[in-house]
């Protein structure tokens, strides 16, 4: 039926008539049609085509609105993450960055013991980090 969707209403009606005349059936509005008298008129097909076009347009508008909202959320997340970066003078900053802990939120999740497991951070630096993060 995908082929029929790319046809004009007249072409679709002719295709339906041919399928039924050959002893087959067609599907229209979730109904199996097996007789020519039950086939939709050209006007019905045109209306259905218009309704489908409007529905697709509505779907596209909704998809674009979702994409726009997703972009706004990402922008907010990015801007808040940038503002939470560790200050230049933060104790053990280079080692923390190398280990993938680049923001205050990342560092806040780590215990003093976990901090000492990071290469380049010993117990004294871990203690300074805990004090610096508050």
Indicate the number of domains in the chain: 2
Q: For residues 61 and 98, state if they share a domain.
A: no
Answer yes or no: is 25 within a domain.
yes
Instruction: Give the model's pLDDT for residue 1.
Output: 39
61 and 108: one domain?
Answer: no
Residues 79 and 100 in one domain: no
Crossing angle of helices 9-21/42-83, nearest 10°? Answer: 120
The answer to whether residue 88 sits within a structural domain is no
Q: How confident is the model at residue 14 (pLDDT cuts 50, 70, 90)?
A: confident
Distance CA 100, CA 80 (A): 17
Q: Give residue 29's pLDDT.
A: 58
Considering the domain architecture, whether residues 15 and 67 belong to the same structural domain is answered as yes
**Same domain, residue pair 16 and 65:** yes
Shared domain for 74 and 20, answered yes or no, is yes
Q: Are residues 78 and 98 in the same domain?
A: no
Determine how β-strand 31-33 pairs with β-strand 26-28: antiparallel
List, in sequence order, every residue forming a beta bridge with 26; answer none if it has no partner. 33
CA–CA separation, 105 vs 80, rounded Å? Answer: 11
Whether 23 and 78 share a structural domain: yes
Query: Do 25 and 68 sit in the same domain of this protein?
Result: yes
Q: Where in the sequence is the domain holding 33, given as residue range(s)?
A: 2-83
Count of beta carbons in the 10 Å neighbourhood of residue 129: 24
User: Tens of pLDDT along 82-134?
Assistant: 447 888 888 898 999 899 888 888 888 889 999 999 999 999 999 999 888 76
Q: Report the distance separating Cα 74 and Cα 30, nearest Å.
A: 41
The residue with tokens 């009606």 is 13
User: What are the pLDDT digits (tens) for 29-73?
Assistant: 566 666 666 666 767 777 778 888 888 999 999 999 999 988 888
Q: Quickly tell me which residue has 């900053």 as its tokens.
A: 93
């Amino acid at each position: 039926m995908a082929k029929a969707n790319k046809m004009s209403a007249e072409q679709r009606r002719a295709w339906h008539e041919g399928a039924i005349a050959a002893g087959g059936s067609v599907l229209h509005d979730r109904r199996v049609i097996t007789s020519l008298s039950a086939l939709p008129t050209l006007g019905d097909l045109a209306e259905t085509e218009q309704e489908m076009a409007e529905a697709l347009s509505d779907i596209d508008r909704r998809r674009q609105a979702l994409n726009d909202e997703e972009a706004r959320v990402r922008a907010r997340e990015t801007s808040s993450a940038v503002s939470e970066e560790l200050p230049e003078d933060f104790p053990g900053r280079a080692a923390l960055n190398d280990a993938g802990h680049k923001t205050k939120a990342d560092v806040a999740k780590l215990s003093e013991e976990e901090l000492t497991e990071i290469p380049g951070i010993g117990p004294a630096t871990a203690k300074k980090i805990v004090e610096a993060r508050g």
